[in-house]
Amino acid sequence: MTDTLRELSDKELTLGQTGVFSYVQTAIPTDDIDYAFADIHNAYLELHNRTLDQVFKTETLKRMVFLNWYYMAEPAMLTGMTDLDHETILASYQLLNDLIKAGELDEEFTWMLAFYSTWGFVIMEFSEPNMPELTAFAEKYRWTVRQPPLKKQLGAVMENRGQMGKFWNALQDLAT
């Protein structure tokens, strides 16, 4: 698969319209869709492994981790996600553990991961006992109520970032 980040974002948004409680009111025909969230999730891992650009690697990892969280924390009828590859989930969390261990978690990823950690089971089911840095991070924020940055701080940075961007923008719209 040779999709770009933008193409994968567009595919995510298309699939996101298939959930029963979609953010949009118009349903789309699913017969014309020949890919699933698992394909997109796997493509992010493939893109991550193919590039040397650290910013690009971090972006693909942010999207994988969001999909991990969204898949585990929300019902399929809301997300449209029926399955993600277990090995891709594990690989993405191992990459995240390595990023934390190296002290290279950027500010955006830190607040995102802190928010996801409120649902500790989403991460710790995969991180314990072999990913101590990720487990420690999740445990640190597990019982802390987290709010994302204000919309004015996010600006347009969540545009064209697939379901992750759509989620954060929708959450901000509710908060303002």
- pLDDT 10s digits, 59-69: 999 999 999 99
Tell me: cis bond preceding 75? Omega within 30 of 0 counts: no
Checking if the pLDDT of 110 tops 70, the result is: yes
- pLDDT 10s digits, 25-41: 444 445 555 578 999 99
**pLDDT at residue 32, rounded to an integer:** 53
- pLDDT 10s digits, 5-17: 899 988 888 887 7
- pLDDT 10s digits, 148-162: 665 555 656 778 888
| Confidence band of 166 (pLDDT split at 50, 70, 90) | confident
Give the whole-number percent of the chain exceeding pLDDT 90.
Answer: 49
Q: Please provide the DSSP assignment of 101-168 as one string.
A: HTT---HHHHHHHHHHTTSHHHHHHHHTTT-HHHHHHHHHHTTS---PPPHHHHTTTTTTSHHHHHHH
| Confidence band of 105 (pLDDT split at 50, 70, 90) | very high
Amino acid at 42: N
Q: Of 91-95, 102-106, 160-164, where does mean pLDDT reach its minimum? A: 160-164
**pLDDT at residue 152, rounded to an integer:** 56
